Amino acid sequence: MTLVISPKKLSQILTLVVLCLTLASIAGQYSTYFLGHARLKGLVRLFDLDDENNIPTWYSSSALLLCSILLATIAFAKKRDGARYVFHWTVLSIIFLFLSLDEAASVHESINEPLRAALDAGPVLYHTWVILGAAVVLAIVVVYWRFLSDLPSPTRRLFLTAGIMYVGGALGVELLGGWYSALYGKKNIMYVMIATVEEFFEMQGIVVFIYALMSYMSLNIKEVRVRIGDEGSSLSS
């Protein structure tokens, strides 16, 4: 049995999922702040993009895990073929595995208060973890510059687009949201809109990255075969 997945169709489906989750979250917040219904039998919290342990969180964690699996598959294929940058692909896979776990468990949130206290950070750096996040992103850019330069041009453009969208949301808009929440709190429609934009850019950035990885695999990776069960049965991609 051969499983064929179109990068374009999958990215379209994931984009539709992201839009539906975003609209569901906006509808819930509209119900909360304009209609006076903050629960709707738990549906508001279930689809709130700025909440944890709900459907958007599970989706984002799963999408990041898919990135990790795709990156690990590329690393395996590169090693099998004796190609360059096996280490780079492998480390990227590990990074995205951590991001998937962090999305589910909110590990980065736990360093906010210690860092804020240590740096005596004001409202601008209310989400103080972005300092560490920015340092990590800068280090990755420096270490991976040659790797990015050697990628095919379409893949490099997609990687950069995905990175700008994801980092712009996770660090840039998060910084704005932290500043605003420190001054005015989180229980207002303006903060909700900032958080919604942040999460949308993160989720859509990952969709672009998944499309980039699958497109790269379809053009540059020879067949990868996964054998399950008896000797004669296999799944190819």
Beta bridge partners of 235: 226
Q: How many CB atoms lie within 10 A of CB 162?
A: 21
What's the pLDDT at 224? Answer: 61
Per-residue confidence (pLDDT) for residue 20, from 0 to 100:
98
Record the pTM: 0.89
126: tokens are 């209310």
Phi, psi of 40 (to 5 degrees): 50, 50
Cα(169)–Cα(141) distance, integer angstroms: 17
* Cα–Cα distance measured from residue 182 to residue 228, given in angstroms and rounded to the nearest whole number: 53
| pLDDT at residue 126, as a whole number | 66
The encoded tokens of residue 6 equal 């179109």
Neighbours of 130 (CB within 10 A): 20
pLDDT for 83 beyond 80: yes
Q: What is the pLDDT of residue 175?
A: 86
Q: 23-32, 120-129, 156-165: lowest mean pLDDT where?
A: 120-129
DSSP string, 185-228: -SSSHHHHHHHHHHHHHHHHHHHHHHHHHHHHHHHH----EE--
CA 115 to CA 197: how far, in whole Å? 25
Q: Quick one: pLDDT at residue 237? A: 45
pLDDT tens digits, residue range 98-155? 999 999 887 766 666 776 666 666 666 666 778 888 899 999 999 999 999 999 999 9
Q: How many residues does the chain have?
A: 237
Q: Taking 90 as the threshold, does the pLDDT of residue 64 lie above it? A: yes
Question: Which pLDDT band holds residue 222 (cuts at 50, 70, 90)?
Answer: low
Using pLDDT thresholds of 50, 70 and 90, give the confidence band for residue 235.
very low
Q: Which position has the higher pLDDT, 50 or 120? A: 50
Query: Which range among 8-17, 149-158, 165-174, 204-213 shows the weakest confidence by mean pLDDT?
Result: 165-174
Q: Are 59 and 68 in contact (CB under 8 A)?
A: no
CB 86 within 8 A of CB 78: yes
Tokens of 201: 């850019």
Tokens 């709130």, located at residue: 48
- pLDDT per residue as tens digits for the range 168-182: 998 899 889 988 988
